[in-house]
Structure formats: structure tokens, C-alpha cells
Structure 1
């Protein structure tokens, strides 16, 4: 069997807009201090049209508060690599049974009828605890947001993608997990860790299922990221466990996730990838 030819010199030169002409939905992009916002900015800088999902009531109920959706959109729009690429946003309560399918349809319609990249970044904050503290309501709430809605988003995305010509390139799904499978686990966040672990476990199954559509599926563990949820001594204690002497910042996982969306990562699928900066657990 002959070997595939080596790339040409032109093919090896990095395209500054590797996602020009492609479209992306980023969920959980409600505020400028979060990972979803950083991912959306990277995708837009690479040339993609982007639809930002937000659920402002969730962030408004948290200590860090919520941003205005129009401010989030403007922050993404300012880095557009392709001035013709759209940046749009819309709400969605993903605990509602039909919300994931509606969000996929809405995002695709807004972006011209096609959706290439799905970054499922949203998650439920709070309402968790140690084993002795959790209850059925906590488990159900995290299941609904962190896992149930993600699988339904993937299902709706796959149905939309199946309408394209066979093996249309550029199909990408990136889900978010956490450090539940690394030394020590997450004993203080049992409900969250359990549901994020379910996504990590589903990654290879989903990758195999969607391979016939030329869609890669990967899961990223961003490690501890400074999204304004810790301060004071707790913040300093986490910072001391990074060899670099700093927290992970939202753009750290965003660089990995945006790269996974490009053609350079077309051979990577079914993987759970830790992006933790050497964090010592």
C-alpha cells in the first residue's frame, strides 16, 4: 500500500485563518471572565462565525454575577479574523427537555444553515457537596445541565450534520470534563464530578458513532482556571500548586480547544485531554 505523500511547502505554512468559512456554537458563554468567552474569541480570531449561548439567570445568581450579552458579543466581535464572519448570541435554559435541539437549530439558522463546531462548555455551578451532603435534587440538577443536555446537543448536532454531503470536513465536537479521574478526585463536588465523569466516559463512544460523519469528538479537562470564583488564601493555595506559579487562565484551555477545531487536529478523536499546566494535586 503506497504511503500518502508528504505535505507540500504551502500546506505546511500555517493559515492565519484556519476556520474561515466554518461556524461554531459555544455554550455557556455568558460572561467575559469565563472559558466559553475565551474559546469564542479564539474561534472568531481564526475566522469562524460564532453563536454564543448564554443563560444569564445562572450567572446572575452566582457571586461573580452576569455580563450583558451584548457586551460579550462585542468582546468577541473585536477579534474577528474574517470581518464577514457573524458573531451572534441567544439564550437557552438547557434544563428544558427540548432546549438542546432548539439551540442547535437556532444557532445553525443564524449562521447560515450549517454548524461545523460544537463546544459544550456550559455547566452548573453550586448546589453540590461531599458524599454526606448531596441529595437527589443535587444529583438530578447536575445530571440535567452537565450531562443530559450535552448528549442531547450532540444528538441534535449529529442529525444536522447528517444532512450535509458525505464526509464533509470540519465537523468538531469538544466537551468539557474536570479532574474527577486524576489523583484525589473531587470529594467536595460529588455531583459535579460524577456527571463530568460521565461525559469523559462517553467520549470514545460518541467519537466512534460520529466517525462516519467525519466528526471528531474530544473532551478537555482545563484544570483549575481563574474564572473569578476564588479569592484570598484559597486562591493563593491553588496558585502555589502550579509549577508556573500562576493559575490557568481562560485562554489556556481556549488555545487547545480552538486548535482541536482546526484541520491540524483532524486525526485526534475520542480523547480526554488534560490541560492543567502541571497542576500538582
Structure 2
């Protein structure tokens, strides 16, 4: 156990917020393939805070979904528009995280593209669809969600921890889905199971990586409008928020970007709900 010295009260200079608190830091955001998605919003916030960002995408997954896929170059341009530090870079690349070899390769590729170092990992990707209620699921469904939603996240974190030199400023943020709240997700058993695993492992990972200066937290963004629902169903969900509106992608993105800053250095091992008061 490393015993840290007691710190005095912050100086007035230290209390003044840096407008670019992530200047010089580097980040990999997975699942940043749609401009309507949370990953894109997170990447834009990190870039606006001064970080260099690598955007991971897997276009075939989104192309198979009702919402379709964006062109990677359009997503890349949108994030570059948010860059505030002149020296910051924004790079994008593909990767099928169902392949067990891809997570380590992706981390190495991102670090190399951003100058040889990776500070922040935001594991935002997930398998959408191909799921069902208890009587509908089968081994193939369970295995696909396990491979993408859980196994790949742990392999990404492992590669990140192995590559990054020990020191302050390391961050891991995972994503969960409120499967432990109220009535759960009885119609998406495979997805809920694997996302629940990430929530459960958060504390163990945070204890494992603390001495390397890496914090580990998991965010439940609640229902977020990523263009997957419309009409009466959309309005019914909106009515369950006290504000009368859905969460927007930038709502959880602001929390995740803050967790990446030094201001959140004391926050680790937590599963944080960012649901806007949603009534389940």
C-alpha cells in the first residue's frame, strides 16, 4: 500500500478551473460510430476539454440496425470541430470487438496514433438487438453479448493497464444500463446480464488498478435519445422524466468527461446513475 502525504487546502490558483483540463491527455472512445450516439458526444466533450481522441467504430453493426450507420469521416469531422487545444489530434479506426484479438490491438493502435500513450479509456460500445426474454434467448445470443458487452471490455482494460506507465491521470469508464433498478430489463436478458457483470466488477477493477493511478467507474446513462424510438412510445418515455424530456447524448457525456479530469481523481469504484430523475 502506497501511503500518500496529507494535502493542504488548495491554493486560490488551484481552485480556478482550467478551461482545458484534459490538455495533453489521450483518450480512446469505443462505439463512437454515430453522431446521434453517446460515444460521439463523449468524444466531442473530451476534445473540447483539450484531449487527443481516438474514435473506434464498427460500421457493420450499425448498418444492421434500424437506425443505420454514419460515414466514419462524418463522425470524425464532427469531433474535430470540437477540438480546443491546437496540438490535440482526433483519429478514427475500425474494430470488431467480438474478435478476442482486437481489444489489445485497438489499444495499441490508439496509443500509437496519439503519440505512444493512452490515458483515458471509455468503453461505450455494446451489442444491440439479438436478444429476448428468458424463454427466447439461446446460447448463441448469450455468447454474442458476452463477447462484445463484457469480454471485450475487460480485455480493453487489461491492455490499457499493461500499456500505460503508472502515474496519475489514468481513467477507465464503463457503461451499464440500469438493469439493477426497479423492474430491470426482462425483455433483454442477454444484454442485462452482461451489463450487470460490468457493474459488479467495477469495485474489483478499481482496487486492482489504484496503484497504477487509474480510476475505474461505470456510468448508467438512463434512457438517452439516440434516434432509436419515435411516436407514442417516445412520448411515453419522455413523460416519465420530471423534466418532460429524454436524456440527450451530451447529458451522460458531461459526466463522463468530468470523470476523466483531475477533479474526479477521488472518484473510483462507483456505479453512477445519470438518469435525470427517470421514474421506472
Q: TM-score range by the shorter chain?
A: over 0.9
What residue number does 2:37 align with? 34
Q: Paired residue for 2:188?
A: 189
Out of 109, 128, 131, the position equivalent to 1:125 is 128
Range 196-205 or range 127-136, more displaced: 127-136
Distance 1:232 1:185, change over 3 A: same
Note the C-alpha offset of 1:81: 1.2
Aligned with residue 66 of structure 1, among 45, 53, 69: 69
Alpha-carbon deviations, 1:123-164, whole Å to 9, x = none? 000101111111111111100000000000000001001xx2
Q: Does 1:149 align with 2:152?
A: yes
Distance across 1 between alignment mates of 2:143 and 2:236: 31
C-alpha RMSD of the superposition: 1.1
**Corresponding residue for residue 176 of structure 2:** 177
Q: Please state how far the C-alpha of 1:3 moved relative to its aligned partner.
A: 5.4
DSSP 3-state at the match of 2:202: helix
CA distance in 1, matches of 2:265, 2:117: 19
Deviation at 1:83, TM superposition (A): 1.9
In structure 2, what is the equivalent of residue 248 of structure 1? 247
Confirm or deny that 1:237 pairs with 2:240: no
What TM-score results when the alignment is normalised by the length of structure 1?
Answer: 0.97
- Aligned 1:206-245 pairs, distance under 5 A: 206-245=205-244
Helix, strand or coil for the counterpart of 1:273? strand
Q: 1:9 — aligned with what?
A: 12
Which sections of structure 1, spanning at least 5 residues, go unmatched?
A: none
Give the stretch that moved more between structures: 232-241 or 115-124: 232-241
CA-to-aligned-CA distance 1:24-65 (integer Å, 9 cap, x gap): 000000010000000000000000000000000000111111
5+ residue gaps in structure 2? none
Partner deviation per Cα, 1:262-281 (whole Å, 9 max, x = no partner): 00000000000000000000
Runs of 4+ in 1 over 4 A off after TM superposition: none
Q: TM-score, normalised by structure 2?
A: 0.97
Tell me the distance in 2 between the aligned counterparts of 1:104 and 1:117: 11
Match of 1:94 in 2: 97
Q: What is the CA deviation profile of residues 171-204 of structure 1, one whole-angstrom value per residue up to 9, with x for unaligned ones?
A: 0000000111101111111100000000000000
| Cα deviation 1:5-35 (Å, max 9, x = unaligned) | 1101111011000000000000000010000
